A = this chain, B = another copy of it.
């Protein structure tokens, strides 16, 4: 869009249609509509730590993750923060502000270098009215999000440090081949929403009990069932 030499990296050649097709939202869409959306969609790259959007911004677009990971958080005036969601390859995010036209509900930052597809509101909304199956898929996705967020409310209400940490560890390592995750205890404490020191003490206990294994910036779950047990009490 800009003619200036900006910080925006050169957009690589990306088969946008193929990307879109990866997502359930567009999988069954007919070829013409898909081509049309793809034509409008912009490829945007972000470096690790880069801000994608901020809480309160007007939300004009929907993002699909082509490559990398995105974290959505919210911060208080005193500097505390909660993790609201994490999105990986194939996920879409940013749809709330897009749908109701109100400001973004959280901050989105790139957790790793990543590549996104951005769909503008004005290009996306017409599709919804023409293709109800897309709208219905989107309804299912939103329902899932609402379930997830409701679960988060329950966790915060019902679980203490042990339970919340156990749940977080399971979520972080699920999908990973070796049940292991790479992050500092500081980052972990942000995910759990409790202090680094307390997190550390509990990890020590579990490490001594052989439930997990600890290394610098790396954590491996050895006995997931034990954690699952703790998390569901």
Contact = CB atoms under 8 A, between A and B. Distances in A.
Interface of A: 74, 76-78, 80, 82, 84, 95-96, 99-100, 102, 105-106, 128-133, 135-136, 138-140, 142-147, 149-150, 152-154, 156-158, 193, 233
A146 B149 contact: yes
Contact of A80 (B142, B152, B158, B193): B158
A139 B136 CA distance: 9
A22 B73 CA distance: 37
Nearest to A156: B156
A157 B157 contact: no
Contacts of A135: 128, 132, 135-136, 139
Given A99-B143, A105-B146, A149-B149, 19 more contacts: A76-B154, A76-B157, A82-B154, A95-B143, A96-B143, A96-B146, A99-B139, A100-B144, A128-B136, A129-B133, A129-B136, A130-B132, A131-B132, A139-B139, A139-B142, A142-B142, A142-B146, A145-B146, A153-B153
A53 B136 CA distance: 24
A158 B149 CA distance: 16
Nearest to A102: B147
20 contacts: A74-B154, A76-B158, A78-B158, A82-B153, A82-B157, A96-B146, A100-B147, A102-B147, A105-B146, A128-B136, A131-B132, A132-B132, A135-B135, A135-B139, A139-B139, A142-B143, A145-B146, A146-B146, A149-B153, A156-B156
By DSSP majority rule, is chain A's interface helix, strand, loop, or mixed? helix
A133 B126 CA distance: 11
A128 B135 CA distance: 9
B105 A233 contact: no
B82 A140 contact: no
Contacts of A106: 150
Contacts of A147: 96, 100, 102, 105
A133 B135 CA distance: 10
A77 B154 CA distance: 11
